[in-house]
Structure 1
């Protein structure tokens, strides 16, 4: 759906304004508490459930709001004016946790799991990364062995977002010992948290993102029914992950835009209030240059993200564009955070500074869901394929 009625547009704008007020009046004042306690308060989680934030991207037929990607981007930008920990709590329900089941799951799987994810009754987690398998995710070692009408899973996962809170995991595992063409040795399984043999390690201690919980997940003889194999067919897990990953990369890019907006706001506020040599530092041209560069970076990223979201809604192949967005936006917000610390000076290096916290938080965005270097490989490979195809057709000479 790419065209919207005036009523639908008004409804989306009302939702956006509601989230904007909630974020700035409710979530921003809680940022320091979340950073100190290392968790989003339970009452906030319940409020997010009541607001329907866990179901923004789940279709209405399963109890969600069924937002388009373009609508999702607008709301994520508003949501991430606050600490990224709040968005992280929702991220798997909005992204691969639900979208994988939506894209490739059976009707039974969609009807059973998506309504509970949309309501926030279940917080989802997606378990692909392993101790020896990061960027080369198809090299995972976790095994799934068919035993009658069940699969038995053994292995471990690392850095799994929401693992300490999750009620259900999407677990990627090998169903073939050999690495098969198209990564057909990887399958995806829905595994409830209370399944015997599944355990979660202690929350990771990270550079930033306090309150956004990650942990290792251990699988020791975990038995799941055949009906929990996503799509009911082996060998589709990697493709399922990749389908959801494009939308996830757009979402992360929108997150970077939201964080960049907040950082630029803090820079403007501080430079107007901070006086040196008898006047605000905002009057100094070198400070103005950093602010101007940040606005240009932010504008470019926002345009990229919104255009790619529209292409996605038109069902175009956006894998290369999603990688462009993720690469540029994550690098962009890192540059803005660095400039913010520079403008704040010594104050920006103190642990009680909002820009110091954001500086540590945004460093992660260049790493997860595909590092900058992985995005470069994706982009270069896609361009080379396009060039070879056009050359074979006698074009572009």
Structure 2
């Protein structure tokens, strides 16, 4: 569905071509698989991971000198926005692979970057990020998974939950506690690279969730898992910074883009339904009372798109934009849910049919709330900005550390 004129940054010819390439891919490869994914929610979709990997899309933000596309965050947002219109589960698969890329690019050693990122860019290796735990949720410093020294190695014990691509990843980027919180505070956590076939690592059986059928976000358990010291990302104590920066710079905009794609699908489907459904000698599209609700849906969609695109445009240019990224994630989800409820109401009983896509959109968009921080977490961060509290501006701090970002400039 075409979008209205935008106040967000104009797209380059390369970005426009990329969007069309992704649209063609979703028509040819994603749309035919959606019915199967919905019919078998107990299965993990593997084919699309292979196909998207072959396109090089997992390396969209990886620099060209490391085999990636070097296309930046706006290009990534375009891709996720487009894919999510067809399948939020497929977009979730693509976006979940990006957070561990951030960890390695921003904090990894030169050896780790050159060893790990080219296979990711080539679609030969898929990554996951493992931070969340059952009893700590978004409270990163409350995690219980531990890493203790044993000679030159580290021994990992504990479990992680809601891990995107848990059943597909070849390598897990795991945050674990390396010191008691009362002793090290925010320096109590560290990050490790753990291969999927390390002895003691178990990936629990896939269990389908409310939405995103076909997407794997499951449980990992670590029972005396031994990893060498060279598998640490960054320095000991960097874990909190690694987790927070990845969540803000990649997680928030990624989830905003997925919400945006589902939102656009909801508005498009609803407009088509109103135009095609006869009522009172005309169609539902001729009723003023429904114009009001559809207009509000369109307004939310346009605002969400402009907010998301402007935020990642600034990110690509090394400009401070943490607040915009946080706000985009928060409002993109909230607005999509509001439009989803409007759509459910206007469709009446038709919305409840399992063969009709609206119920899938409604279920899928619920799944963009908790990852990368719930609405409460986002509002807490936004309140800190309103109160003038000092906070790390990751978009500014990490801009000089990677060739992904262009040279900073004055806004």
Distance 1:204 1:374 in 2: 27
Distance 2:44 2:19 in 1: 22
Does structure 1 retain, via aligned residues, the 8 Å contact 2:92–2:258?
no
Q: Which residue of 2 aligns with 1:192?
A: 195
Q: Which runs of 5+ in 2 are unaligned?
A: 1-9, 392-411
Q: Which residue of 1 aligns with 2:375?
A: 372
Residue 329 of structure 1: which of 305, 327, 332 is its match? 332
Q: Which residue of 2 aligns with 1:394?
A: none
SS in 1 for 2:147: strand
Distance 2:294 2:31 in 1: 22
Q: Which residue of 2 aligns with 1:62?
A: 66
Go from structure 1 to structure 2 and tell me whether the alpha carbon gap of 1:250 and 1:180 turns closer, same or farther (over 3 Å shift): farther
Q: Which residue of 2 aligns with 1:392?
A: none
Q: Which runs of 5+ in 1 are unaligned?
A: 1-5, 389-397
Q: Which residue of 2 aligns with 1:156?
A: 159
Distance 1:177 1:346 in 2: 54
| 1:387 positional shift | 9.6
Residue 101 of structure 2: which of 95, 98, 102 is its match? 98
What are the superposed Cα offsets for residues 367-396 of structure 1, whole Å, 9 maximum, x if unpaired?
Answer: 2110001000011012212599xxxxxxxx
What are the superposed Cα offsets for residues 329-360 of structure 1, whole Å, 9 maximum, x if unpaired?
Answer: 10011111111212221010121110001101
**TM-score between the two structures when normalised by the length of structure 1:** 0.91
Does structure 2 retain, via aligned residues, the 8 Å contact 1:159–1:204?
no
Go from structure 1 to structure 2 and tell me whether the alpha carbon gap of 1:385 and 1:43 turns closer, same or farther (over 3 Å shift): same
| 1:314 positional shift | 2.5
Q: Which residue of 2 aligns with 1:145?
A: 148
Does structure 2 retain, via aligned residues, the 8 Å contact 1:171–1:189?
yes
Q: Which residue of 1 aligns with 2:52?
A: 48
Go from structure 1 to structure 2 and tell me whether the alpha carbon gap of 1:180 and 1:338 turns closer, same or farther (over 3 Å shift): farther
**RMSD of equivalent CA atoms:** 1.9
Does structure 1 retain, via aligned residues, the 8 Å contact 2:100–2:128?
yes
Distance 1:284 1:139 in 2: 52
Q: Does 1:28 align with 2:8?
A: no
Pairs within 5 Å for 1:220-259: 220-231=223-234, 233-247=235-249, 248-259=251-262
SS in 2 for 1:219: strand
SS in 2 for 1:57: coil
**TM-score between the two structures when normalised by the length of structure 2:** 0.88
Go from structure 1 to structure 2 and tell me whether the alpha carbon gap of 1:257 and 1:178 turns closer, same or farther (over 3 Å shift): closer
Distance 1:122 1:251 in 2: 20
> Is the deviation greater in 167-176 or in 50-59?
50-59
Runs of 4+ off more than 6 Å: none
Does structure 2 retain, via aligned residues, the 8 Å contact 1:92–1:98?
no
What are the superposed Cα offsets for residues 171-212 of structure 1, whole Å, 9 maximum, x if unpaired?
Answer: 100110234566110100000001000001111331111111
